[in-house]
Structure 1
Amino acid sequence: MSADLHPAESAGTSSTAGSAVAPRPPKRTAYGKETWKEIVFLLSNLVTSLVGFVYAVVSVVLGVGLSITVVGLPLLALGLGGARLIGRSERGRARALLGVEVAEPSRLPKPGGFFGWLWTSLKDPVAWRTQLYGLIRLPWGIVTFTVALVSLIVLWPVLPFLSRGLANADRGMVRGLLSPSDELERRIAELESDRGVVVDTAAADLRRIERDLHDGAQARLVALAMGLGLAKEKLLDDPETAAAMVDEAHGEVKLALQELRDLARGIHPAVLTDRGLSAALSSVSARCTVPVKVTVDLTERPAEAIEGIAYFTVSELLQNVSKHSRARSASVDVWRTEDRLLLQVRDDGTGGARLDGGTGLAGLAERLGAVDGLLVLDSPEGGPTTITAELPWRSRPSG
């Protein structure tokens, strides 16, 4: 059994990445361009903070005050939407003049209907933090404008130090109130993107099933119905011919049943439902063109959805072994590590596999990512190839 993957190793991160020393910021002169950018920022604080304060007060007070009417909450939601635009402007100003790199928050999801939009807008944390930013900035904007202006006239020798200190406080406010909600906000953006992959994959699978039914079993059953109709007409006049046609129809029935079984196996194999991953993976490995050793080390079965994804992931990887690896043998290992289900397919082939190599690995990695999974490829030229997939572990409901 292969060793458990550490999360950093799973992500393909070098083990020394965490200990890297951050580069020191470049040295700056007292009256260099960085100082003058900070001064421009501090002087512009008065106007921007005044606009932000007035907007926050008017939009919140108006929306809350009219909330007893039908227009109050929609006005508040529109005001929060406008606050997002103010936040974007402030991040751009800080980025240009203070060098603060703050990622843009993800867009709000698009719920269906008016009430969905209303509820999503009213509970938007990004917009509320921007409104708070606007409320607390007015006193600070007055202070920074006054100090910067007076320093330009009277306190010239200490101007660089004052501007640096005040600008650092502004940097802290921007990072604290105008930045996304760290990992949660970024994860929401990733999941919104991954949702499109899931929808596209599901649509492609439905088109494949429809095509297989239309071109395979359906066409065969139509021909079978026509053949039985002709046999019925000849039953009295030419019983020998009718018997031959019935015999031929019997063969067509067997073929149609086999095609339907193959199609059902492609949707969700019965052996997986009845006996679990170990039996299902042993079945699929028997169809591989090279001998495959299957080891499943699980004390319980995962949720049906996770089990199905694991099965089709290994199935696709073994198809790649058959088509591309030129291997003499392969192995499949399945085990659980804490809240992750790990699948590892290894072959002794020629190696050189890549995610963009036309073997479908890129699409598989996208589909795994859409369910918070991960695909790690290790395939040097000359082999061997080891592909490890991680999936979130969810237990099967009891009962």
Structure 2
Amino acid sequence: MTGDTMRGAARAVLVGPWSARTWQACAHLLAGFPLGLLTCFTVVLLGGVTTGLLVTFAPALVTLAALLWCVRGYTALQRDRFATLLGVVIDPPAHCREEPGRVRRLLAEAAEPGTWRQFCYHLLAGPLGVVGFVVTTVLWTVSTMCALVSCYAWALPADSAFGRHLHTPSMVIELTVGGLLVFHLAPFVTVGLAAADTWLARTLLGPTDIDRLRSQLVSVTQSRNAVLAAADAERSRIERDLHDGTQQRLTALAINLGIARQTLPDLSGPAREVIEQAHEETKQVIAELRGFVRGLHPAVLSDRGLDAALSGVVARSPVRVRLSVDVSERPSPTVESVAYFVVSEALTNISKHAEVGAAEVTVARNGATLRLVIADAGRGGADEGGGTGLRGLTHRVASVGGSFRCDSPVGGGTTIEVELPCES
């Protein structure tokens, strides 16, 4: 042990009885005595009554509700005790899953592991409070009395129960030195007991690591959904701006060029050729812009849903497509947008690479899942790394927590299966 270490230990021993941390720990342990007895008595009483009334369902539900209410309240009181007296913040326990109906919600909360962990802490709070109170009281009281024995030794009886003469100088010195030693070691015991109580409370009253990870996952999912919703809203805005602004002006330009082309017969050959070329290029740009706008976020998708939007995609596809849409309840706009994108891109890939004249698209909702199947009997061999666009589809599906599977043996056609969570 180095000199610095020894000096640090000596300083900790000398300063320990006067540090704020020591007195906070003492106050924490002393406050835990009445609160621990109260919580332990209550949960034992209500727990026993609830168990005894299980044979009669309704009274048991009443006492179970009272027990859970007490557990929640006592957990809040204990968390306040740690925060106020020790400055230790214990995160709230994980909430139970939401269930419809009061009885089902009550039973769900009673079945939660977090509820039973809190129950166990409150059962232990009584014995722990007694131990902390007794150890703290005895250590500080006895050590203080022994350290100050020289001040009142004259009032003590001459002989003790152990046969020692209390009025001799050697006995007074022994008691004083022993009292001072215990007085300076008591802070370590007190702080240690408070630390053990803190560890137990974090373990039983707070969320577990799994609960924290689940909470983080929920937060990340909500953030992801917010980003996707913002992106969809921005795509819709761009689609409206292009449709109502740029596309309308280009259409007016094409009309004016068409009128000029038809009503100006006296133009020279080069001028007429320029007007005709501009007219044709303008019409081509309008057609390309319409296709681009439809790919962003078609208005029909927002207004009428997947059935109408995909019917338009199938009608424009150069491949003959048999479409089946069975969506009794519309999913969220984000999921609808992803489903529309997947089907559109898949049909585009089929027309470019499958070398087949027909395909089949099936869209169906089953509970909380929207399932898409796009199949063709083409040449197969589709690969995510082969430039077929499958990688983009995979990423788009994964952005909403969906699953993507592509079965494409060479010469055996291609089947794409996508499952999207409708609650995303």
Task: Give the number of the structure whose residues are more often helix, by fraction.
Answer: 2
Larger Rg: 2
